[in-house]
Amino acid sequence: MEGEADFTLAEVVENLGLRPLGEGGWGRPMAGADEAAPGTPVGVYRLLTPDAPSDWRAVEAEELWTVYMGATLEVELATEAGVRREALHAGSGRWLSILPGGWLRTRSVGGWCLAGRIGLNIR
């Protein structure tokens, strides 16, 4: 995108204060998430790399996903109706809604991507 600054993975991790995640990649809750009551919607940064594991996990409440910068994020949702696969491109401004009741996995395609997820605080 014209005028967009190029950042390295290390610069994004450092500037956003991201921490390594047990399931691979980096992440952190967005402002206010630490004080949010259980069941309250919160935002989370996720920085994914192509080599991070893309394990399936149950979706217990609606989630919204977007990509801020970097590579494309592939989002797959498996339900009884089949598998839905969507690609989110950095900077598109598009948000993808994932409804509860299925299994979800995400993966970065072609490099690292900085994604955002809004979901319910489960603490």
| pLDDT tens by residue, 60-111 | 889 999 999 999 999 999 999 999 999 999 989 999 999 899 999 999 998 9
pLDDT of res. 5:
59
- The average confidence (pLDDT) of the chain is 87
pLDDT tens by residue, 26-69:
999 887 666 767 777 888 899 999 888 888 999 988 999 999 99
Domains and CATH numbers, the chain: 9-120 (2.60.120.10)
pTM: 0.85
SS3 content of the chain, % helix, strand, coil (to 5): 10, 50, 40
pLDDT of res. 25:
87
pLDDT of res. 1:
41
Spatial separation of the C-alpha atoms in residues 106 and 50, rounded to whole Å: 10
Determine phi and psi for 71, rounding to 5 degrees: -75, 180
pLDDT of res. 15:
94
Spatial separation of the C-alpha atoms in residues 42 and 44, rounded to whole Å: 7
pLDDT at 4 over 60: no
pLDDT at 123 over 60: no
pLDDT of res. 119:
83
